[in-house]
Amino acid sequence: MQTIPTQLSAAFRKAINEAFGVDADPLVGQAQNPQFGDYQANCAMGLAKQLSAAGNKTNPRAVAQAIVEKLDLKEMATTEIAGPGFINVKLNPAWLACQLQQVRSDARLGVPSVEQKERVVIDYSSPNVAKQMHVGHLRPTNIGDAISRIVEFQGHEVIRQNHLGDWGTQFGMLLRYLEEVEGSGEAQVADLEGFYRAAKKRFDEDAKFADEARAWVVKLQGGDARARELWTKIMNQSRSHFEQIYRRMNIKLSRANERGESFYNQFLPDVVRELKEKGVAEESEGAIVVWVKGFEAPLIIQKSGGGFGYATTDLAALRFRSRELGATRIIVVTDARQSQHFRMFTDAARRAGWLEGVEFNHIMFGMILGEDGTPLKTRSGETVKLVDVLDEAESRALEMVKQKLADRGEQMSEQEQKQIAAAVGIGAVKYFDLNRDPIGNYVFDWAKMLSLEGNTAPYLQYAYARIRSIFRKAGQEASADAAIVLEHPAEVALAKHILRLGEVIGLMVRELKPHYLCTYLYELSTRFSGFYENCPVLQSEAQVRASRLALCDLTARTLALGLDLLGIEHPERM
C-alpha cells in the first residue's frame, strides 16, 4: 500500500503536468489546521512565480484553481483553495474505511516496503570489554536497536555491528594481572569491575608490573598464543555479561554482530598507507596525521612510536563497511562528545573516496542526568551500573502491578506478575529514553517514566492491554470480514491516524528519530480514548459493534507493531 501523501503527490503531480506541462513537486504536507483539511498542497505559490518569470503572468490562486480543475482524486478526498493559494485536502470517510479494510488484511499494517533497498550498517551499543555496562550504555544500545528495527522493517538490509572496545593498551595490565591470579581461585574475571580495579591498582602501584603489562600489549598485538588465550577468557566473560543485559533489554545483538576494535587491527597499517598514498595523510614530527579544515590540531592516525589509535580503527571500520560489507548507508550511534572525532575521521574517509555512494549518519546523543542536573551517579558518587537500573525498573514496576491488582481485587500468578513487571519496567526506561530528540540531555526520573498518565511506555502498554480486555470481554476477536463504517468524528479521527503509520516510518528512516514513532503512538492512544469514550463498542447493535471492534483491533495491532519497533513488549494484561 502507498502512504496517503504518496498517493496525493502522484495525483497532484499529474494534475500540474496536465495544467501547465511541467513536472513539479506538489509539496504535499500535513494540514496546518485540521479544521480546513487533513493534508495540503503548497506548490501554487512557487509555480505561479515560476510561470510568471517564464512570461505567463499569473497568480497563485489561479494556479491552484487550474490544478484543482485537472485533479482527479476519485473517491479519496475533496479539495478547497484557501488563503493565497493553498490547496486543502479533506479525506472522505468512505475512502478511509476502504483503506482500513486493506490494512486489516496486511501484516505490515499498510506500511509500504521500500523500492530502493539499501544495505545499512548500524554500529551501536559498542561497550568496552572487561568493564560492566553502565548507565551511559543505555542510550547507544537502546537508540541503535530501535533504529535498526525500524530501518529493517522498512525493508532495508540491516547489518548490525557491535564495535566492542576489545583492544588497546589497557589489555596489557589485564592480561598481566590475569596471568597472576589465574588458578588462584580469587579475583577472577567474573567480577568484571573488581577485576579491572584490582589490575589497575597493581599497575599504578608496582613499576615492575607496569613494565610487564606493557610487554603483554606487544605480545597480544604480535599474536602470541598465550596472550590470545588470556584475552579470550576476558572476552568470554564480558560477552556473557553483555548478553545478559541485551536479553533483559530485548536488544537484537548477538555474538554474530560482534566486530570489535581488535578485528580491525590487521588493517591499520594498510589504512595509513592508503591515506598517505592518496595524499590525505602526511608526516608531521614523526607521526602520520590528517589535517582537516576548520580544526586547529590534526587527526593523528599513527603516533611517532608507530602505535595506532581510536581514529585509525574507526577509519579502518568505515573502509571495511563500505568496501567489504558493501554498505550504502552507515549509521553510528555514540555520545555527542565524540562529535569532533567523527567529523574529522569522516572528512578523511571522504577524501580517500571511501564514502563514495555511501550516506554516513552519526547519531549523537546527550547525557543522562541526575535530579541535580549533573551526570547521573549513585549516592556514593559512583557510576550507575546498567544492571542496577534494570533491577530497579523491574522492582518498581512490580510494586505498580501489585498495587493495580489490589485496587481491582484481582489475582495473578507471581510468575505472570514478574513478567509484566519486566515488560513495564524495562519498557518504561527504554521509552523515556527514546521519546525525545537523541541530541539533548535528560534528567532520569522514575516517577515520570513509570507514570500511567502521559506519553510513557506504561500508558501505551496499558492502552494495548485495555483493548485486549475488550476482546476478552466480547469473548471473540474482531471478525475479518466485518465492514468498517466511519460515522462519528472520533472514528474518523482514529482512522486517519491509523493510516499515517507508513508516513511516520518513512520520515523516521530518513531522519533517524525514534521519537517520531513515540509521538505517533501516543497520539494514537489518545485518539483511541476519544473514540472509546464517545462510541460504545460492545453495547452497539451487531453491525456497528463489528465495525468498532475492527477499529479496536487495528488500534491494538498498530500499538503492538509500534512498540515492537521500539523494542518494547506489550503484555496482554496489565
Residue linked to cell 540531555: 441
Least CB distance from residue 258 to ligand ARG, whole Å?
12
Tell the burial category of 372 from Cβ atoms under 10 Å away from its Cβ (0-12, 13-18, 19+): exposed
Question: Which of the residues 149 through 178 are near ligand ARG (CB under 6 A)?
Answer: 163, 165
Q: Which is nearer to ligand ARG, 162 or 435 (CB)?
A: 162
Strand order in the sheet with 86-91: 28-30, 39-41, 86-91, 77-82
SS3 368: strand
- Cell output for 41: 498542497
- Cell output for 392: 530497579
SS3 134: strand
Only one of the segments 110-118, 123-131, 183-191, 454-462 lies at the binding site for ligand ARG (rule: CB under 6 A); that segment is 123-131
DSSP-derived secondary structure letter, 324: T
Least CB distance from residue 317 to ligand ARG, whole Å?
6
Polymer length in residues for the chain = 574
Q: How far apart are CA 250 and CA 253, in angstroms?
A: 9
Site string for ligand ARG, 442-471 (x = CB under 6 A): ------------------------------
Q: How far apart are CA 364 and CA 338, in angstroms?
A: 8
Q: Which is nearer to ligand ARG, 134 or 497 (CB)?
A: 134
By the rule CB under 6 A, 120 interacts with ligand ARG? no
Least CB distance from residue 540 to ligand ARG, whole Å?
54
Out of 88, 99, 128, 141, the only residue in the binding site for ligand ARG (CB under 6 A) is: 128
By the rule CB under 6 A, 126 interacts with ligand ARG? yes
Least CB distance from residue 333 to ligand ARG, whole Å?
7
Out of 97, 135, 288, 332, the only residue in the binding site for ligand ARG (CB under 6 A) is: 332
Site string for ligand ARG, 285-324 (x = CB under 6 A): -----------------------------x--x-------
Partners of 330 in the β-ladder:
121, 360
SS3 111: coil
By the rule CB under 6 A, 265 interacts with ligand ARG? no
* Pairing of the two strands 442-443 and 359-365: unpaired
Terminal Cα-to-Cα distance of the chain (whole angstroms): 33
| 238-265: b (≥16 Cβ within 10 Å) or e | bbebbeebbebbbbebeeebbbbbbbbb
Only one of the segments 22-30, 124-132, 488-496, 543-551 lies at the binding site for ligand ARG (rule: CB under 6 A); that segment is 124-132
Size of the site for ligand ARG (CB under 6 A): 10
Only one of the segments 121-129, 291-299, 376-384, 541-549 lies at the binding site for ligand ARG (rule: CB under 6 A); that segment is 121-129
Out of 132, 142, 334, 525, the only residue in the binding site for ligand ARG (CB under 6 A) is: 334
Least CB distance from residue 493 to ligand ARG, whole Å?
43
Q: Which residues contact 222 (CB under 8 A, 6 or more apart)?
A: none
Contacts with ligand ARG by CB under 6 A lie at 123, 126-128, 163, 165, 314, 317, 332, 334
